[in-house]
A = this chain, B = another copy of it.
Amino acid sequence: MFESAELGQTVDKTTWARRVPGLRTALLDAQADVREAGTFPVIVLIGGVDGAGKGETVNLLNGWLDPRHVVTHAMGAAKDEIVRGMPHMWRFWHALPPKGKVGILFGSWYSSPIVDRVYGKIKKGGLQRSIDEILRFEKMLTDDGACVVKLWFHLSKKAQRARLGALEKDRDTRWRVTATDWKHFGMYDEFRSVSEEVLRQTSTGDAPWTVIEGTDARYRGLSAGTALRDAMRKRLAVGAKHARRAAKAGPADLSASVPGKRVIHELDLSPTMKSKKKYDDELEHLQGKLSLLSRHASFARRSVIVAFEGSDAAGKGGAIRRITSALDARLYEVVPIAAPTAEERAFPYLWRFWRHIPRRGHVTIFDRSWYGRVLVERVEKLCEPAAWGRAYQEICDFEDQLVAHGAIVAKFWLAISQDEQLARFREREKLGFKRYKITAEDWRNRASWDEYEVAASDMVDRTSTERAPWTLVPANDKEFARIKILRTLCDRIEAAL
């Protein structure tokens, strides 16, 4: 991997002076085209050996590009206090540039796995899991259209020793050489070996690595600028092609979509609560239990994420209220999910849900959720079949990351019959409260009942995992549904604490 980057590559002053003006113009033009297209972000990852000129190159690129449309993030170790209490991937989602912009990520999601493996904090298997996670994350980004440019700055062992020494000798740059740099130099061979493994596995067709020798500043800068220009141009060229391909590609094969029994359709909706007294007793008991659980000492190290889906008028609001009234108002947030805003559309689909992920000790309840992608967006044809076809895997990855961080993920599908929905619509219209207004959309959704049932059944089949299972809730009897939801939630939390 690193052979060509240890040959002592240099660029002389004349070549530099001759080539830089053209490169700058080309970069500015490509950047303007990316902005005008507005359909994808450019994500530049900067990695490599200490002292190989990563910082200088980032500053150089920033100087060459239009700084108003570049965002740079330093993403070294996850020490920043802001990210404490948040899942591992949260800060990377937070740092993604919107469509039309260039984001330079200094460090990126590659830092921790490599450093942790070299320090022996994770084993081979752990590194492999990280690599797989990165591959799926980057696939999500490129599937969504992102132009991902990965630059790795390399130095031979000899060159690194010389470089650190030179930086240290100069009064102006001495501050930049830290004890960690020398410590890492002592581990050069391990770093080289782990990095090579990671780069080899993550250099994919859609997001390849460019390895650049870091010894000579002119060679390094010219190589980085050229790589960025070429990647932007290439992505701009396939712009139209990409869109066509995405439109043509069908969804992944969905075995549950073949005619046959559907898990949602087969659900027995007859269970009821028997008596009002029984409901009141159980409600009080379970709310008290939930309240106690949320004050449990171990709760501060976990978080709870609840997603509610179901037909209109299935009773999501009422069920949510029975949960929240058992919790301290400072600990939870209820997030109603509607169509994404323009700002949210400028990011990959899951971005807007990452914004609301609770920190440790907190609860977020989603009234409708990220499953909209494979429900309403699928049925109403609001996104390409390829996009919702991909979403099952992306969603499972998302939930895996939450669970890995200690989150308890509970997902409830509230199922009612068509007759029950009609009765509730009629009743609401009669009540006339504005908060219960039945909209044209509600009636339209009702007309697509069968398609929603197919979509919901596929969803359950493909995303009900052991770590984040779906709970199907017969909800023709509201009280039965509320008790079942509260009990499931208490059980899940109790088992986790």
Contact = CB atoms under 8 A, between A and B. Distances in A.
B328 A68 contact: no
Contacts of A28: 433, 435
Contacts of A62: 324-325, 329
B59 A325 contact: yes
A66 B435 contact: yes
Contact of A343 (B72, B73, B321, B341): B341
A70 interface: yes
Contact of A68 (B61, B327, B329, B367): B367
Nearest to A295: B175
A324 B81 contact: no
Contacts of A106: 329-330
Contacts of A68: 317, 320, 334-336, 367
A32 interface: yes
Contact of A81 (B55, B84, B175): B84
Contacts of A329: 55, 58-59, 61-62, 72, 104, 106
A360 to B, nearest CB: 13
Interface string A57-76: 01101110011111111100
A67 B343 contact: no
Contacts of A434: 29, 32-33, 36
A433 B29 contact: yes
Q: How large is the interface on A (under 10, 10 to 19, 20 to 34, 35 or more residues)?
A: 35 or more
Contacts of A81: 81-82, 84
Interface string A402-441: 0000000000000000000000000000000111000000
A179 interface: no
- Report which residue of A70, A175, A329, A434 has the largest number of chain B beta carbons within 10 angstroms of its beta carbon: A329
A454 to B, nearest CB: 28
Nearest to A46: B329
Interface in A8-65: 25, 28-29, 31-33, 36, 55, 58-59, 61-63
A104 B333 CA distance: 12
B325 A63 contact: yes
A342 interface: yes
A317 B32 CA distance: 14
A81 B29 CA distance: 41
Contacts of A33: 434
A342 B324 CA distance: 29
Interface of A: 25, 28-29, 31-33, 36, 55, 58-59, 61-63, 66-74, 81-82, 84, 104, 106, 175, 295, 317, 320-321, 324-325, 327-330, 333-336, 341-343, 365, 367, 433-435
22 contacts: A28-B433, A29-B434, A32-B435, A55-B328, A55-B329, A59-B327, A62-B329, A63-B325, A67-B324, A67-B334, A68-B336, A69-B336, A70-B334, A72-B333, A73-B330, A74-B330, A81-B81, A81-B82, A341-B342, A341-B343, A342-B343, A343-B343
